[in-house]
Amino acid sequence: MYFCSNYPLAVALCVVTMLCWGSWGNTQKLAGKTWRFELFYWDYVIGLVAFSLLAGFTLGSSGGGAWSFAQNLGTVSAATWVWPLLGGIVFNASNILLSAAIAVAGMSVAFPVGVGLALVGGTVANWFVDGKGNPYLIWTALAVIVASIICNALAFKVKQSAAGRGEDAATVKKGLALAVAAGLMMSWFSPLVNRVVDMEFAAAAPAAGKMTPYTAFFVFTLGVFASNFVFNTLMMRKPVSGAPVAAAEWFKGGAAVHLVGVLGGAIWATGTLLSFVAAGTAGAAISYSLGQGATLVSALWGILVWREFKGAPALSGRLNLAMILLFLAGLALLVMAGGN
């Protein structure tokens, strides 16, 4: 099994996580030109499960022995499965709300608010799981990041006010509410999974009742897949916008649009698995919070590429610039916190 034992490399893996988590939403934006996000999301979940299996039987099985994917999967008890399964269910509920927020309000609003809140809550919860990292620097970094989230929310408010009180402003307000709900729920998926991951990698075999990062991630994706039949089916019947979507519509999509969704799932899965792999060296709180720098990446995609703030007042641009600078400062403090 491949694992990371070098702190600078662990930080580099967390940066890759950040890029993956901040970029998968582009696949939804691409598919959304012709494809409802509820249909996209089925392909996204398929991509998650497929990638977890591929990673498990390659990187997760290298070297063989008790740390290998298949052996660990077969030896852990059913009670151990509960936590990553629950993490998958919690994540899926929150991510469907985030996807709905992207569809309604765009990446530059949904990610900074939703994922920013998840960063703060998840970092605190993960720190209580393993206690790694300088707590004073972590709390200072989170305060700076909260300030950056507030700047983004204010930029959105300025844009909304300029749009007037019409249907468009009301729709984007709904997207903001969805992003807040998603962020509050998303804080919990990583601590639930990390609860059963053996992050020491020092013994000949994982500790009793513990999983490797690859095994835990696979079980996590099973929780996502199983719960999708409940959560996404409800979303299709009671959509946040537009008419209800029939399940038969999924079978009418071409190969290209399905592959875009699968790619989106694989991109997010790559980042998440690397976060779990790096957690043993960087610490669960640091690896999670650095990965959630995706907030900044996605905001830049939304602002610079998708032009989601086009036509907004100049004050929105200044507030978004402040958001970017504060977020970078917060991430720098988190890197310093992990090195102490």
**Segment 31-79, tens digit of pLDDT:** 988 999 999 999 999 999 999 999 999 999 998 889 999 999 999 999 9
Contact 213, 277 (CB under 8 A): yes
At 116 the pLDDT is 79
Contact 124, 292 (CB under 8 A): no
At 339 the pLDDT is 62
Helices marked H in the chain — which ranges? 7-23, 25-31, 37-57, 69-75, 78-105, 107-110, 116-130, 135-163, 167-186, 189-194, 213-237, 255-282, 284-291, 294-300, 314-338
Count other Cβ atoms within 10 Å, centred on residue 108: 28
Give the residues of the chain that fall short of pLDDT 70: 164-169, 172, 339-340
At 167 the pLDDT is 47
At 119 the pLDDT is 82
At 85 the pLDDT is 97
At 113 the pLDDT is 83
Task: Write the DSSP symbol of residue 91.
Answer: H
